[in-house]
């Protein structure tokens, strides 16, 4: 099938001084862009979209989220990450495959309607990982028409808990400290992921992909980290994990490794262009250089880092070092939405107060690049995703230039970074197929899906009072987190 987007008023092009080109058409054949510019009138096409008063941008890429959290958005505030995790798992009862399917659809609806065409879902499962849950997630992304990678979140250790236990905080006897007891061993996890890769990696013509997803260096043994990397490379996939999100995590990992987690990963050949590191807040200048030298990708999650008080990643230093930086919404229980335009706006603003030299502030062009080119690297498509260019995959969002967010249009890049909310999204194309038309999804019945989600969620545990067992775990992890924050500083950690 040939699809023509005729005479777009604007097309995003970060190589241009103003970031845009004007009055050009986009010709799509199958799932690829085959021409951009002036298209001869007699060119045979099957379908035409009027590009007048439309701003064509590459589909945005949400490079880190957790779909199960879509059930439990707006359930917590005022908690740092460590006690927040105890609360999250305490109010998240077991998920059926249907629950996972619906959570993925809910996130996809929100993302597609706000211009996001691709997602990397760091997919946690309660009470334990199963192929049925992973199949359900992939079926959801297949059905809704989104480009997606799923990284099953596996863990087999809790080094932060062990460190707190050694200080007398009695964390292991809490329900959260015992969570790993029900999880499979490393060989079983690897076997499960092998089957997951076999079923889904490259499915739907390459629109769906698989990653390994060890939770993070503080929650994964050496064996799990090393085996996960080997497995990802064996299947031609990537590895995605959390890294140094909080100061407590950094402290615990230095106790474990005797060095920074980045230094340990580099020593064990666990960094490269096929590795993406969510957060990377508490990393040193040497870590920044190491990440850049190895070509690994950092995923900035500003909303969650603010809400949980985790800190600010050194984004300017990473960019200056030549590192690839992408952007993520993170899970909706910590960021509360999946709107990447909001994450872009935050990323462009929150770093300014700690940088005296305003010439080093994050720019609109920087954050637009994170949401397009950076995300393309995380999805392992650095050469055919994230741009509107010949040969690239046809993932395109059309914004309505008549929308208030874009009126008057003074500077296209600054409008994308500071003004847009997703309200201007009119049409979304993924892999050459129209999945949003006139702000309506074309692939699923949205009212029916939302009604089912509301009904199922209303009966789940997070609508009931928090149990004493969970409150006790939250209190103990809060005390531990506060102790570390009061007694250590980033500079003197060994």
SS3 string of the chain? CEEEEEEEEEEECCCCCCCEEEEEEEEEECCEEEEEECCCCCCCCCEEEECCCEEEEECEEEEEECHHHHHHCCCCCCCCHHHHHHHHHHHCCCCCHHHHHHHHHHHHHHHHHCCEEEEEEEECCCCCCCHHHHHHHHHHHHHHCCEEEEEEEECCCCHHHHHHHHCCCCCCCCCCCCHHHHCCCHHHHHHHHHHHHHHHCCCHHHCEEEEEEECECCCCCHHHHHHHHHHHHHHCCEEEEEECCCHHHHHHHHHHHCCCHHHHHHHCCCCCCCEEEEECCCCCHHHHHHHHHHCCEEEECHHHHHHCCCCCCCHHHHHHCCCEEEECCCCCCCCCCCCHHHHHHHHHHCCHHHCCCHHHCCCHHHHHHHHHHHHHHHCCCCCCCCCCCCCCECCEEEEECCCHHHCCCCCHHHHHHHHCCCCCEEEEEECCEEEEECCEECCCCHHHHHHHHHHHHCCCHHHCCCCHHHHHHHHHHHHHHHHHHHHCCCCCCC
Q: CA-CA distance, 181 to 157, in Å (whole number)?
A: 10
- pLDDT value at residue 493: 47
- Assess if residue 25 is contained within a domain: no
Q: CA-CA distance, 307 to 172, in Å (whole number)?
A: 26
- Residue 198: Cβ-neighbour burial (10 angstroms; 0-12, 13-18, 19+): exposed
- pLDDT value at residue 494: 42
Model pTM greater than 0.85?
yes
Q: Are 283 and 243 in contact (CB under 8 A)?
A: yes
Query: Sign of dihedral through CA atoms 264, 247, 183, 332?
Result: negative
- Assess if residue 479 is contained within a domain: no
- Assess if residue 197 is contained within a domain: yes
Q: Which two tokens stand for residue 322?
A: 């030549």
Q: Are 109 and 144 in contact (CB under 8 A)?
A: yes
Q: CA-CA distance, 61 to 480, in Å (whole number)?
A: 36
Q: Are 342 and 421 in contact (CB under 8 A)?
A: yes
Distance of CA 408 to the CA centre of its chain: 31
Distance of CA 477 to the CA centre of its chain: 26
- Residues 6 or more apart whose Cβ sits within 8 Å of residue 468: none
Q: How many domains does the chain have?
A: 1
Return per-residue pLDDT of the chain as tens, 494 residues. 999 999 999 999 999 999 999 999 999 999 999 999 999 999 999 999 999 999 999 999 999 999 999 999 999 999 999 999 999 999 999 999 999 999 999 999 999 999 999 999 999 999 899 999 999 999 999 999 999 999 999 999 999 999 999 999 999 999 999 988 878 899 999 999 999 999 999 999 999 999 999 999 999 999 999 999 999 999 999 999 999 999 999 999 998 999 999 999 999 999 999 999 999 999 999 999 999 999 999 999 999 999 999 999 999 999 999 999 999 999 999 999 999 999 999 999 999 999 999 999 999 999 999 999 999 999 999 999 999 999 999 999 999 999 999 999 999 999 999 999 999 999 999 999 999 999 999 999 999 999 999 999 998 989 899 999 999 999 999 999 999 999 887 655 44
- Assess if residue 17 is contained within a domain: no
Query: Sign of dihedral through CA atoms 116, 120, 122, 128?
Result: positive
Q: CA-CA distance, 388 to 4, in Å (whole number)?
A: 13
- Assess if residue 261 is contained within a domain: yes
Q: Are 141 and 108 in contact (CB under 8 A)?
A: yes
Nearest by Cα to 213 from 382, 67, 341? 67
Q: CA-CA distance, 316 to 320, in Å (whole number)?
A: 6
- pLDDT value at residue 490: 60
- Assess if residue 425 is contained within a domain: no
- Assess if residue 416 is contained within a domain: no
CATH number reported for the structural domain that contains residue 173 in this entry: 3.20.20.140
- pLDDT value at residue 491: 58
Q: Are 318 and 295 in contact (CB under 8 A)?
A: no
- Assess if residue 50 is contained within a domain: no
Domain that holds residue 355: 60-378
The three-point CA angle 422-240-186 to 5° equals: 140
Q: Are 466 and 83 in contact (CB under 8 A)?
A: no
Residue 492, CA distances (Å) to 29, 147, 166, 238, 488 in order: 57, 43, 20, 34, 7
């Amino acid at each position: 099938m040939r699809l023509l987007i005729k005479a777009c008023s604007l097309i995003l092009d970060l190589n241009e001084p103003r970031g845009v080109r004007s009055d050009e058409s986009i010709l799509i054949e199958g799932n690829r862009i085959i021409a951009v510019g002036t298209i001869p009138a007699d060119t045979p096409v099957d379908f035409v979209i009027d590009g007048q008063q439309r701003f064509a941008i590459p589909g945005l890429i949400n490079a880190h989220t957790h779909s199960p959290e879509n059930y439990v958005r707006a359930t917590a505030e005022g908690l740092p990450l460590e006690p927040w995790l105890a609360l999250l798992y305490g109010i998240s009862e077991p998920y059926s495959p249907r629950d996972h399917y619906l959570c993925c659809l809910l996130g996809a609806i929100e993302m597609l309607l706000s211009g996001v065409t691709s997602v990397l879902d760091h997919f946690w499962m309660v009470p334990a990982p199963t192929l049925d849950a992973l199949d359900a997630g992939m079926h959801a992304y297949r059905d809704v028409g989104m480009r997606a990678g799923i990284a099953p979140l596996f863990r087999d250790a809790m080094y932060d808990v062990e460190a707190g236990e050694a200080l007398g905080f009695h964390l292991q006897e809490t329900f959260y400290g015992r969570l790993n007891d029900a999880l499979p061993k490393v060989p079983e996890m690897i076997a499960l992921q092998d089957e997951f890769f076999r079923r889904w990696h490259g499915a739907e013509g390459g629109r769906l992909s698989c990653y390994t997803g060890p939770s993070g260096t503080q929650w994964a043994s050496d064996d799990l980290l090393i085996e996960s990397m080997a497995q990802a490379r064996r299947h031609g996939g990537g590895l995605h994990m959390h890294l140094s999100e909080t100061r407590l995590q950094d402290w615990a990992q230095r106790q474990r490794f005797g060095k920074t987690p980045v230094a340990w990963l580099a020593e064990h050949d666990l960094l490269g262009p096929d590795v993406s590191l969510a957060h990377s807040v508490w990393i040193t200048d040497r870590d920044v250089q190491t990440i850049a030298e190895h070509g690994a990708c950092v995923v900035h999650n500003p909303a969650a880092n603010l809400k949980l008080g985790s800190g600010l990643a050194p984004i300017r230093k990473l960019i200056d070092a030549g590192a690839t930086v992408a952007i993520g919404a993170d899970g909706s229980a910590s960021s509360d939405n999946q709107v990447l335009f909001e994450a872009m706006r935050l990323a462009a603003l929150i770093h300014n107060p700690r940088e005296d030299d305003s010439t080093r502030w994050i720019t609109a062009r920087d954050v637009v690049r994170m949401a397009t080119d950076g995300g393309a690297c995380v999805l392992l498509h650095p050469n055919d995703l994230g741009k509107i260019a010949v040969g690239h995959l046809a993932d395109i969002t059309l914004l309505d230039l008549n929308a208030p967010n874009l009126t008057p249009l003074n500077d296209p890049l600054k409008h994308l970074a500071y003004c847009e909310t997703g309200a201007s999204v009119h049409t979304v194309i993924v892999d050459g197929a129209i999945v949003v038309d006139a702000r309506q999804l074309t692939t699923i019945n949205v009212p029916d899906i939302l009604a089912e989600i509301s009904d199922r969620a209303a009966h789940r545990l997070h609508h009931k009072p928090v149990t004493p067992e969970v409150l006790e775990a939250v209190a103990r992890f809060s005390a531990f987190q506060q102790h570390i924050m009061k007694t250590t500083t980033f500079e003197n950690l060994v």
